[in-house]
Structure 1
Amino acid sequence: MMTEDQRKLLGSFVRARRESVAVDRPGRRRTPGLRREELADRANISATWVTWIEQGRDVRPSAHTLDHLAQGLCLSRAERQYLFSLAGREDPADPFAILPQDASASIDALVDCLPWPAYGLNPIWNVTCANGYARELFTGLFDETEAPNLLRYFFTHPSARILLPDWDQRALRILAEFRRDYGRTVSDPRTQSVVDWLKANSETFAAGWEKQAVSEREGGRRSFNHAAKGLLHYTQHTLANPERPDFKLVTLQPEG
């Protein structure tokens, strides 16, 4: 059964995505995106059902209904996974199952073997392991007495804004990437406590969280303005253990 918080999150997400769908229609529209009736037609469900979902009513859409909603909203793969996770339904196209948040020994072993910065992340983005190169790169991250959390560091630690020259752009991407993981573990109180703390302590996170953006975790070039070594450029790779896809191995391979 879905919790009240899950129903509200699901409703907010569906509405945000509905209003963001590009509609090619002549003339001026008073409302952005699709109307509820238009989404209902696309998804082959009733407009009343769409309204109830968006209002967070005590309803539980089936996997079949969610599949039609995802198609009607033109959701990306990450957004589709988030939709199903919030609704507490298993997507037949995504066999991923929420797994316990214990450590992944294989990721720990790989991190120690790599000759460049590497670290492991659990579903709430606690850094479960990191090699010496990563500890040297992320100034201040490992100074915390509690478990280092990449989100808490990125959005609230003053060193992060200095270290990341493109902090504003990275903030939007990291928010969207984390929301995908959040959908998988929304019923875990540890996940919600991370979100609540960040919303209370970071205006950037709080504002960005309301935008409902969802994205895959992407690789590519990452730049760091290190206090001792100057401007550094890496290529980021993110890998998941087939046995534990909820844990990530993140590596930063130096360019050149």
Structure 2
Amino acid sequence: MRSEEQRRLLGQFIRSHREALTPDMPTARRRTPGLRREELAARAGIGATWCAWIEQGRDVSVSPEALRRLAMALALTPAERAYLFELAGRRDPDAPAPTPAADAPEALHAMVDLIAHPAYGLDRLWNACCWNEAAQQLFAPWLEGDGPHNLLRYVFTQDAARALIPDWENRATRLLAEFRADYGRALDDPRALALVERLKAESPFFAQVWDRQAVVAREGGLRGFVHPAQGLIAYRQHTLHPTERSDYKLVVLVPSEGQEEG
């Protein structure tokens, strides 16, 4: 059974993406941004009243097939579609079977220790569960002192992160959109909601970006940093998931001569 928080987030998510769509036949006078509910319902082949109830966060039953049509009508990306199904508490008929998650696997710790370049492991709430010396030197003070060493709290609340990360606002915005994809799979964990509420209170920018409901898949690419001792350095980021613990991830930064991608 979906919680009230899930229903609220589902309604906000659908409305946000509906309002971002371009109408099939735009008119000169239009008070509603994007698509009207009736237009989205027509695209998805569902009832307009039923669509309105979902956006209002009512406790209505949504079938996987209806969600499939809704995802197509909203033109969702794979990450956004996965988030939609997670919020609705339904299994995407086109998605692979999920892998159960528990404590951080020993393999993750072992891999981090073996890698010479900056490497660290993240749990489902993006707390660093392990890291090597190269990562600690790059990301101080994130990986110093007592835990939980949360990556989002470091990026959004510490001045050191703003100094380290060029184009901080855009990088932080994308990072949060990547986290939201994981957040949809962690709604059964009260710590996830507590983390978001804490960050909304600590960082007005986090609160602003969080309300945009953006969701993207975590991808690699060139990442630049302005290190206080080494100056401008570039890495190519790679993110891997242990097969036995899919909600944990291994992040590796390999030195690169290229310039940071936008």
TM-score bracket, normalised by the shorter chain, equals: over 0.9
Counterpart mapping for 1:45-124 below 5 A: 45-97=46-98, 99-124=100-125
What do the CA deviations read for 1:142-171 (whole angstroms, capped 9, x no partner)? Answer: 234221110111101111011111111101
- 1:98, distance to aligned residue in structure 2 (A): 6.6
Residue 151 of structure 1 aligns with which residue? 152
Q: Is the 8 A contact 1:122 1:246 kept in 2?
A: yes
1:19 aligns with 2:19: yes
Distance across 2 between alignment mates of 1:96 and 1:119? 26
Residue 164 of structure 1 aligns with which residue? 165
- Name the count of aligned residue pairs: 256
Q: SS at the partner of 1:190?
A: helix
**One-letter amino acid of the structure 1 residue matched with residue 183 of structure 2:** Y
Q: Is the 8 A contact 2:121 2:249 kept in 1?
A: yes
Distance across 2 between alignment mates of 1:201 and 1:249? 27
**One-letter amino acid of the structure 1 residue matched with residue 214 of structure 2:** A
**One-letter amino acid of the structure 2 residue matched with residue 47 of structure 1:** A
Runs of 5+ unmatched residues, structure 1: none
Distance across 1 between alignment mates of 2:160 and 2:24? 45
Residue 30 of structure 1 aligns with which residue? 31
Q: Is the 8 A contact 2:15 2:55 kept in 1?
A: yes
* Residues 187-196 or 46-55, more deviating: 187-196
Residue 135 of structure 1 aligns with which residue? 136
In the superposition, relative to structure 1, how do residues 98 and 156 fare at CA in structure 2: closer, same or farther (>3 Å)?
Answer: farther
Q: SS at the partner of 1:225?
A: strand
Residue 4 of structure 2 aligns with which residue? 4
**One-letter amino acid of the structure 2 residue matched with residue 207 of structure 1:** Q
In the superposition, relative to structure 1, how do residues 177 and 190 fare at CA in structure 2: closer, same or farther (>3 Å)?
Answer: same
In the superposition, relative to structure 1, how do residues 161 and 101 fare at CA in structure 2: closer, same or farther (>3 Å)?
Answer: farther
Distance across 2 between alignment mates of 1:239 and 1:72? 31
Distance across 1 between alignment mates of 2:97 and 2:182? 12
* Residues 37-46 or 136-145, more deviating: 136-145
Residue 184 of structure 2 aligns with which residue? 183
**One-letter amino acid of the structure 2 residue matched with residue 172 of structure 1:** T
Q: Is the 8 A contact 1:96 1:245 kept in 2?
A: no
Q: Is the 8 A contact 2:102 2:245 kept in 1?
A: no
**One-letter amino acid of the structure 2 residue matched with residue 136 of structure 1:** Q
Q: SS at the partner of 2:31?
A: coil
Q: SS at the partner of 1:191?
A: helix
TM-score normalised by L of structure 2: 0.94
Distance across 2 between alignment mates of 1:193 and 1:42? 36
Q: Is the 8 A contact 1:235 1:252 kept in 2?
A: yes
Same amino acid, percent of matched pairs: 54
Distance across 1 between alignment mates of 2:204 and 2:54? 28
